[in-house]
């Protein structure tokens, strides 16, 4: 099984999908088997060659008329999975027959609209959702039915009383008269024994014979152990990473709590500085307005006469000027 699994490209996707399906459908088990019809896989040839594929083997619980029936199915994984949709077959037991329907063929193959959607967008498809679609279709159209018992069964069931009544055995026929020679004496004649009565018919069984459980495949056990170990390592690493991140966040919160008083003092000091800046800005604005007013007044005055403004210290100098 491990050799078969290594031939798949998207092994991580297969492991992830199998884990989700097996956690929800406990009656399914992974194994390998040979599939001989390949035309639906590639569409390029149909020569009857065989290929070893992974599959999920088991039953799907389907409610029908107030009871839950377990439908045996095979879910095959193509080599190109998940680019190609899984292949689902209804696999009847010896006491069942396939019921052909809108989504189930005479050979038991299941075709659903979800498979077409899968091919168009495989990255958004889900194997669990596909199995749920199968359950919905099987609930509306049961894919299998029990085989009818032959009419000449040794026992019949009384439907009114619910008790089984055995059919009586046919009566023994009387012995045929033996033809003896007239010359033979009566002492030499051997009396013919009556035939033995027929044995009673065995009672009819209402419960189907249960098949013994299959032995656990050691390769499957090894694969499950490897999957469990990988999941355990992943969970441990995730917990360790989350623990470190939590410790870092706690340290950051402690630093912020310790720095809160200093930040509040700094904010208070900045508020005081802001108020002083507002007062200084108002004073500066007032001073600028006064300077602009004085400048306007000076510009509005007429230019002075220099001759009238100059005066000498003596009369002679005034005359010269």
The answer to whether the CB of 71 falls within 8 A of the CB of 141 is: no
Q: What would the two tokens of residue 122 be?
A: 């495989």
Question: Is the same domain home to 124 and 240?
Answer: no
Residue 148, pLDDT score: 79
In a domain, 178, yes or no: no
Write out pLDDT tens, residues 1-53: 666 777 888 889 999 999 999 999 999 999 988 876 544 444 433 455 678 88
In a domain, 9, yes or no: yes
Out of 146, 162, 180, a domain closes at: 146
Write out pLDDT tens, residues 236-283: 999 999 999 999 999 999 999 989 999 998 999 999 999 999 999 999
Give me the number of domains the chain comprises: 2
Report the sign of the C-alpha dihedral through residues 151, 155, 156, 162, in that order: negative
Global pTM value: 0.46
In a domain, 320, yes or no: no
Write out pLDDT tens, residues 62-102: 998 888 999 999 999 998 898 999 999 999 998 899 999 89
Q: Which residue has the higher pLDDT, 319 or 274?
A: 274
In a domain, 10, yes or no: yes
In a domain, 306, yes or no: no
CATH, residue 45: 3.10.110.10
* Mean pLDDT, residues 107-136: 92
Residue 4, pLDDT score: 73
Least confident of 46-60, 133-147, 200-214, 258-272: 200-214
Q: Which residue has the higher pLDDT, 280 or 168?
A: 280
Question: Is the same domain home to 133 and 248?
Answer: no
The answer to whether the CB of 76 falls within 8 A of the CB of 151 is: no
In a domain, 82, yes or no: yes
Question: Is the same domain home to 6 and 142?
Answer: yes
Out of 95, 122, 146, a domain closes at: 146
In a domain, 166, yes or no: no
- Please, what is the average pLDDT of the chain? 77
H/E stretch holding 164: strand 164-166
In a domain, 290, yes or no: yes
* Mean pLDDT, residues 231-235: 93
From the number of C-beta atoms within 10 Å of its C-beta (0-12, 13-18, 19+), residue 74 rates as buried
Please check the confidence at residue 185 and state whether its pLDDT lies above 80. no
Residue 309, pLDDT score: 67
Please check the confidence at residue 114 and state whether its pLDDT lies above 90. yes
261 CB-near residues (< 8 Å, 6+ apart): none
Question: Is the same domain home to 236 and 133?
Answer: no
Domain that residue 268 falls in: 232-297
């Amino acid at each position: 099984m491990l050799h078969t699994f290594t031939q798949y490209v998207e092994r991580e996707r297969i492991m992830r999908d199998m884990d989700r399906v097996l956690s929800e459908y406990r009656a399914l088990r992974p194994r390998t088997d040979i599939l001989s019809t390949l035309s639906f896989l590639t569409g390029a040839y149909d020569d009857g060659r065989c290929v070893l594929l992974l599959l999920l083997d088991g039953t799907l619980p389907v409610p029908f008329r107030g009871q839950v029936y377990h439908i045996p199915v095979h879910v095959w994984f193509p080599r190109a999975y998940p680019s190609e949709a899984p292949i689902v077959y209804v696999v009847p037991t010896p006491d069942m027959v396939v019921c052909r329907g809108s989504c189930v063929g005479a050979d038991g193959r299941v075709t659903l609209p979800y498979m077409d959607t899968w091919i168009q967008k495989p990255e958004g498809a889900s194997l669990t959702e596909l199995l749920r679609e199968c359950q919905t279709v099987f609930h509306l159209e049961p894919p299998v039915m029990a085989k009818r018992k032959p009419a000449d069964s040794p026992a019949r069931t009384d439907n009114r009383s619910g008790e089984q009544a055995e059919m009586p055995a046919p009566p023994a026929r009387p012995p045929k008269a033996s033809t003896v020679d007239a010359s033979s004496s009566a002492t030499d004649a051997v009396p013919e024994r009556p035939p033995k009565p027929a044995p009673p018919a065995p009672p009819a069984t209402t419960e189907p014979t249960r098949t013994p459980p299959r032995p656990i495949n050691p390769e499957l056990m090894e694969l499950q152990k490897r999957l469990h170990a990988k999941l355990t390592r992943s969970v441990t690493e995730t917990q360790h990473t989350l623990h470190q991140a939590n410790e870092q966040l706690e340290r950051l919160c402690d630093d912020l709590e310790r720095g809160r008083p200093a930040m509040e003092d700094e904010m208070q000091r900045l508020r005081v500085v802001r108020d002083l800046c507002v007062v200084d800005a108002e004073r500066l604005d007032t001073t600028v307005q006064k300077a602009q007013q004085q400048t306007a007044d000076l510009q509005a005055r007429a230019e002075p006469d220099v001759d009238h403004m100059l005066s000498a210290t003596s009369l002679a100098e005034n005359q010269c000027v």
